[in-house]
Amino acid sequence: MKVKQVMLENPRTLHRSKTLGDASDLYKQTKVNCAPIVDDNNNVVGILTVFRLLEALESGATFSTSVEEVMDRNLQIINEDTNFSQIRHKPIDRLLIFNRNNQLSGVLTRIDLINKVHKALENTEDKLAEAFETNKKLKSIIEASYDGIIVVDKYGIVQMVNSSYFRLQTSLHEPNGKSLSDIPLECCHQINKVFQEVLQKRKVVFDRFRGKDFSELAITGSPVLDEQNHPTLVVIGLRDYTELNKIKLQSARYSQELKSLRTKDQKELIFHDTAMELVVQKVLRVAEVDSTVLLTGESGVGKEVIARTIHNSSTRAEGPFIEINCGAIPENLLESELFGYEKGAFTGANKEGKPGMMELANGGTLFLDEVGDLPLTLQVKLLRALQEQEIYRIGGRNAIKLDIRILAATNKDLEKMIVEKKFREDLYYRLNVVPIHIPPLRERKSDILPLAMHFLERFNLKYNFRKSFSSEVCKLFEKYSWPGNVRELANLVERLVIMTEQDIIYPDQLPETFLKQHTTGSMQIEIDKIIPLKDAREQVETELIIKAFKEYGSLRRAGEALGVAHSTLLRKARSLGIHYED
Ligand X SMILES: Nc1ncnc2c1ncn2[C@@H]1O[C@H](COP(=O)(O)OP(=O)(O)OP(=O)(O)O)[C@@H](O)[C@H]1O
Contact pick of 46, 148, 223, 302 for ligand X (by CB under 6 A): 302
Q: Does 490 bind ligand X (CB under 6 A)?
A: yes
Binding residues for ligand X, how many (CB under 6 A)? 20
- According to DSSP, the β-strands at 405-410 and 293-296 are parallel
Looking at 65-73, 78-86, 110-118, 485-493, which segment touches ligand X (CB under 6 A)?
485-493
Q: Is 546 helix (H, G, I), strand (E, B) or coil?
A: helix
Question: Strands across the sheet with 14-15, in order?
Answer: 14-15, 34-38, 44-49
Among residue numbers 528 through 567, which ones bind ligand X (CB under 6 A)?
none
State the Cα–Cα distance between residues 20 and 50, nearest whole angstrom.
10
Reported residue count of the chain is 582
- Side-chain-side CA neighbours of 371 within 13 Å: the count stands at 30
Contact pick of 108, 301, 338, 578 for ligand X (by CB under 6 A): 301
CB of 276 to ligand X, least distance (A): 7
Residue nearer to ligand X on the CB measure, 23 or 368: 368
Contact pick of 487, 495, 557, 566 for ligand X (by CB under 6 A): 487
Looking at 373-381, 484-492, 496-504, 515-523, which segment touches ligand X (CB under 6 A)?
484-492
Looking at 89-97, 220-228, 264-272, 507-515, which segment touches ligand X (CB under 6 A)?
264-272
DSSP secondary structure letter of residue 61: -
Q: Does 265 bind ligand X (CB under 6 A)?
A: yes
Q: Does 268 bind ligand X (CB under 6 A)?
A: yes
Please give the single-letter amino acid code of residue 412: K
Q: What DSSP element (H or E) covers 359?
A: helix 357-360
Looking at 236-244, 294-302, 542-550, 565-573, which segment touches ligand X (CB under 6 A)?
294-302
Contact pick of 68, 323, 342, 369 for ligand X (by CB under 6 A): 369
State the Cα–Cα distance between residues 98 and 82, nearest whole angstrom.
10
Which phi and psi (to 5°) does residue 209 adopt? -120, 130
CB of 272 to ligand X, least distance (A): 10
Looking at 293-301, 339-347, 397-405, 572-580, which segment touches ligand X (CB under 6 A)?
293-301
Q: Is 567 helix (H, G, I), strand (E, B) or coil?
A: helix
Identify the CA nearest to 465 among candidates 505, 426, 436, 425: 505
Contact pick of 391, 452, 486, 569 for ligand X (by CB under 6 A): 486
Residue nearer to ligand X on the CB measure, 131 or 278: 278
- According to DSSP, the β-strands at 390-391 and 365-369 are unpaired
Q: Does 299 bind ligand X (CB under 6 A)?
A: yes
Q: Does 283 bind ligand X (CB under 6 A)?
A: no
State the Cα–Cα distance between residues 161 and 492, nearest whole angstrom.
70
Residue nearer to ligand X on the CB measure, 106 or 297: 297
State the Cα–Cα distance between residues 465 and 502, nearest whole angstrom.
10
CB of 308 to ligand X, least distance (A): 8
Identify the CA nearest to 150 among candidates 218, 221, 235, 219: 235
CB of 262 to ligand X, least distance (A): 14
Identify the CA nearest to 13 among candidates 60, 48, 61, 59: 48
Count of beta carbons in the 10 Å neighbourhood of residue 184: 12
The site map against ligand X for 399-418 (x = CB under 6 A) is ----------x-x-------
- Kindly list the distances between the CA atom of residue 204 and the CA atoms of 15, 207, 232, 434, 460, in Å, as whole numbers in the listed order: 66, 10, 14, 57, 67
State the Cα–Cα distance between residues 250 and 364, nearest whole angstrom.
12
Residue nearer to ligand X on the CB measure, 145 or 299: 299
Among residue numbers 145 through 184, which ones bind ligand X (CB under 6 A)?
none
Helices (H) and strands (E) in the chain, counts: 21, 23
Looking at 59-67, 79-87, 153-161, 269-277, which segment touches ligand X (CB under 6 A)?
269-277
Q: Does 16 bind ligand X (CB under 6 A)?
A: no
Residue nearer to ligand X on the CB measure, 112 or 370: 370
Identify the CA nearest to 507 among candidates 492, 529, 520: 492
Q: Does 300 bind ligand X (CB under 6 A)?
A: yes
Residue nearer to ligand X on the CB measure, 271 or 339: 271
Radius of gyration of the chain (CA): 50
CB of 381 to ligand X, least distance (A): 23
Which phi and psi (to 5°) does residue 457 adopt? -65, -45
Enumerate the H helices of 432-532 as residue ranges. 448-463, 471-479, 485-499, 512-523
CB of 486 to ligand X, least distance (A): 3
The answer to whether the CB of 365 falls within 8 A of the CB of 311 is yes
- Which residue's Cβ has the minimum distance to ligand X? 302
Residue nearer to ligand X on the CB measure, 271 or 423: 271
Count of beta carbons in the 10 Å neighbourhood of residue 503: 9
Q: Does 373 bind ligand X (CB under 6 A)?
A: no
Looking at 31-39, 251-259, 263-271, 548-556, which segment touches ligand X (CB under 6 A)?
263-271
Q: Does 304 bind ligand X (CB under 6 A)?
A: yes
Residue nearer to ligand X on the CB measure, 267 or 557: 267
CB of 451 to ligand X, least distance (A): 6
Q: Does 303 bind ligand X (CB under 6 A)?
A: yes
Please give the single-letter amino acid code of residue 155: Y
State the Cα–Cα distance between residues 85 and 97, nearest whole angstrom.
15
Q: Does 270 bind ligand X (CB under 6 A)?
A: yes
Q: Does 305 bind ligand X (CB under 6 A)?
A: yes
User: Which positions lie near ligand X, rule CB under 6 A?
Assistant: 265, 267-271, 297, 299-305, 369, 409, 411, 486-487, 490
